[in-house]
Structure 1
Amino acid sequence: MLDFKILVVDDEPSFTEVYKIIFEDKGYETLCASSGEECLEILSSQNFDLVITDLKMGGINGLELLRFIRERKLDCEVMLVTGYGTIESAVNAMKLGAFGYFIKGNDPEVLLKEIDKLVKIKTLQKDNISIRNKLNNFNYLLESNSERFKSILKISEKAAQSNSNILILGESGTGKEVIAKYIHQRSQRKNENFVAVNCQVFSDGVLESELFGHEKGAFTGAIDRRIGRFEEADNGTLFLDEIGELSFNTQVKLLRAIENKTFERIGSNKSISTNIRLVTATNRKLSEEVKLGRFREDLFYRINTITILVPSLRERKEDIPILIDFFLKQMQQDMKKKIEKVENGLIDVLVDYDYPGNIRELKNIIERLVVLSDDGVIRKGDLPDLKLFSKNDQDEQDEMVSLKDVRQNAEAKYIRHVLAKSRGNISEAARMMDISRRQLFNKLVEYDIKQ
């Protein structure tokens, strides 16, 4: 059923039953009440998007119901059902805040069109609230006490004023998409679409359709025309995350689209012009990938007119308390749990940790602490095994190695640990680490980890 609830109020059961059948056939969750009094009782314990009530009823009538709902500021709309003789009363009721009215005996399609209009309005309102919440979260993630991260924001803001292609580099979980959104928000394209695509989660054929779209019948399963992300992002920003994972074939087609500013949907010879700002990101060192022949040199130079390197969380530890506070508030809201106290010493442990998984790992740790909390207290005893990457382990090393080797050793050690926990289940291990199966397979190959 659609996420839209209707309460029908009428003292004639024949009408309520007919309405219930019509509305449920359209996918609306529908409940009926036989009087104004029953309606008020239901509204005291349940939420509805719409109340459809007869104007004339014994006891509490439709107009009185409308006044009750408006006085108590209930989050639902009211539509009145009336006969020809009381249309004027229904029109007057709209001045008091009714969404509309329906005349008994008219085509039910008229009523359904009004409801459909309300569904679209409600959906738009919910989307706007969601967008505002995401925007607030996005802005919060940009708060920083780190001079290095602040300099990255300044570079991003300057880059946003141009139309140059931007390549964002950084370890997994550092917030590369946050920087991409910041660039879009600060650009002249801010009122247009920001379209994000994670290149790693799609197979080659599916990714091509995702980017460029396809025509009906272009391949098995293409039952309708599909608009690709290039069209969706026209005049706005297209963000391609994990671009280092593109196949050579897709790299060629992407390069052609960037150079010619045109593309074709799969199954079509018609060129479509595109006006996008391209922002890409990867945790790979693309310059090395070029040398190894895994990434096209011409595409590399096309996408990195401006390069931005996002620091790891261990390089901006002064921001950890800010992020802990943010994620605590977010998890409390999402889980409907109240955290009253943080155990002494917990913040120090979290700040001291090096986070090979960066901000994403910190978020997962805070989520775990909130889930396992009792009596509104989060405790050190509920932390995962952070000793896997404790600085003591590194201090005990006799041989001095590069920072890159330390990180890779820690990452490989953690992957083996998670695989052991998941008993070798790749899907479960990937879920526990909040990465895709493909990402995990790549790591297994990179570190020569046997399953």
Structure 2
Amino acid sequence: MLHQRYVLVVDDEPNMRRVLEIMLRNAGHVVYGAANGREALVQLAAHPVDLVLTDMRMPELDGMGLLRALREEGNQVPVIVITAHGTVQSAVEAMRYGASDYILRPFDLEALELAIERTLGEAALQRQNRFMREEINRGWDEFVGTSAPMREVYGLIQQVAPTKASVMIAGETGTGKELAARAIHNASPRRDKLFVPINCAAIPADMLEAELFGYDKGAFTGALKDRIGKFELANEGTVFLDELTEMPMALQTKLLRFLQDNMIERLGSNRRQELDLRIIAATNRRPLDAVRQGTLREDLYYRLNVFPVALPPLRQRKEDIAALARHFARKFGYRGAHEELLEEAVLQALHDYDWPGNVRELQNVMERALVLSGGAAPRASHFSLQASPPAAGSISAAPEVGPLGPAVEQFEARLIEQALREAGGSKPRAAAALDISERTLWYKLKKLWPRDNP
């Protein structure tokens, strides 16, 4: 059963328009009406529409003119043409302009309902396929590593993937939490549906609810059209909530309510909608520490932590470093033999380093080395690694005894300055090295240096 969609009915006969509107509303859809093609274009500009049902002969702008206008402006909304004056020529022309179906009047309501359901299903599949291609292009290719800690992770994923259980993934920044979530989704019965990742730390707190649940037109200033949320988009698939502890507590309450009854309500709407979703959450902190610190609701933790998966940091799986380095080298364009890739001195340096940024840091290091080497096998001079990261205490000598607050703030400022220098000014990389979210880093920058960070 398809979930609620938005349908525009275009017909100059009020009685026919009313029959179609009643049928669609009874099927659970939101329906808009227009008496001709020009009114339809106004409605399409004002509302998101998933399907257009249009008559062929109408004053001002007929069905064929409406179809041409939509396609010329790049709008690929599915269109079903309904007409009492059908000819082979008009049917061929409608299909040439991208009509999804062509139905003659008088029609059987059941047959029309099937045509509508089929068209909406095909459109949803196309939309999901586009989203999947975009997501696949943004993600890592695959898990790499055969160490004992990783074999344990693979076993956990294989166990939980076929079930409906919620999963909580814990791991330091850069350990591959999203990759693990994707692996669970891809090995599950939901693999043909959407996997939708949401970084709770990357979206402003006041916009996160709208991003998750969507909103109706007029819900807040700037809400000029209805907008579908990520949860609704992912219906029957998987939502991955990364950096869950960055989600505002009030929104955690609404997430808990969804997990209890599987119902969402768009901002500005009084309509509730049932969804079928699997939720996978992740945090770079120990979840129980987050509960104690007040950044994660205890009841939400227990609801999501049905099946915990802990990802090991790279320093605990150093036997995987060589394979990971080869994997990233191939990803960034190296085409030589594996044996020629890294000399022994480089492999030893990679092994001795503690990798505070984990696999993501190794990926960045290999990309930089390949750039410096011009795509050839990188040498020791193309890497800049220390045997271990500088100790925090080495940043400055211990301050004189005094008020704790200013001393802590000064020490924090020096840590942040060093992290930004080592990251080349990149705030995401600096935040990863400091093991805090990028939002937290921005907050501290504004607090410590307000003039430079308005």
User: Taking structure 1 as reference, are residues 184 and 129 closer, same or farther at Cα in structure 2, changes over 3 Å only?
Assistant: closer
**Displacement of 1:268:** 0.2
Specify the alignment match of 1:319 in structure 2: 320
The runs of 5 or more residues in structure 1 that have no matched partner are 1-24, 29-105, 115-119, 395-410
For residues 242 and 134 of structure 2, the distance between their equivalents in structure 1, rounded to whole angstroms, comes to: 22
What's 2:350 paired with? 350
Change over 3 Å in CA distance of 1:127–1:247 after alignment to 2: closer
Q: Output aligned runs, 1:39-438, within 5 Å.
A: 113=97, 137-139=140-142, 141=143, 143-332=144-333, 341-374=341-374, 376-387=376-387, 389=389, 415-420=416-421, 428-433=425-430
> 2 CA distance for matches of 1:197 and 1:167?
14
State the secondary structure of the residue aligned to 1:138. Answer: coil
Equivalent-residue separation in structure 2 for 1:380 and 1:418 (angstroms): 23
For residue 131 of structure 1, report the CA deviation from its aligned partner. 7.2
Partner letter of residue 439 of structure 1? S
Q: Relative to 1, partners in 2 of residues 1:343 and 1:414: Cα closer, same or farther, differing over 3 Å? A: farther
Deviation at 1:179, TM superposition (A): 1.0
**d(CA) in 2 for partners of 1:444 and 1:433?**
11
Contact kept, 8 Å, 1:418 with 1:429, in 2: the verdict is no
Residue 200 of structure 1 aligns to a residue whose secondary structure is coil
Whether the 8 Å contact between 1:419 and 1:429 is mirrored in structure 2 is yes
Aligned residues: 325
Q: In 2 relative to 1, CA 291–265 (structure 1 residues): closer, same or farther, beyond 3 Å?
A: same
Q: Structure 2 CA distance, aligned partners of 1:129 and 1:264?
A: 28
Q: Structure 1 residues 375, 269: CA separation in 2 closer, same or farther (over 3 Å shift)? A: closer
Shift of the 293–235 alpha-carbon distance from structure 1 to 2, 3 Å rule, reads: same
Give, in angstroms, the shift of residue 385 of structure 1. Answer: 4.1
Partner of 1:389: helix, strand, or coil? coil
Listed as ranges, the gaps of 5+ residues in structure 2 are 1-70, 75-89, 99-122, 395-411, 450-454
The equivalent residue for 2:51 is none
Contact persistence 1:354–1:390 (CA under 8 A): no
Q: TM-score, normalised by structure 2?
A: 0.61
| CA distance in 2 between partners of 1:377 and 1:414 (Å) | 34
Cα RMSD, aligned residues only: 4.4
Distance 1:182 1:439 in 2: 24
**1:66 alignment counterpart:** none
Q: Give the Cα–Cα distance (whole angstroms) in 1 for the partners of residues 351 and 158 of structure 2.
A: 29
8 Å Cα contact 2:341-2:378 kept in structure 1: yes
- Indicate conservation of the 8 Å contact 1:332/1:338, yes or no: no
Identity over aligned residues, as a percent?
A: 33
* Matched residue type, 1:315: Q
Matching residue of 1:49: none
Matched residue, 2:5: none
Per the alignment, in what secondary structure is the counterpart of residue 235 of structure 1?
Answer: coil
After superposition, the Cα gap between the structure-2 partners of 1:351 and 1:251, relative to the gap in structure 1 and judged at 3 Å, is same
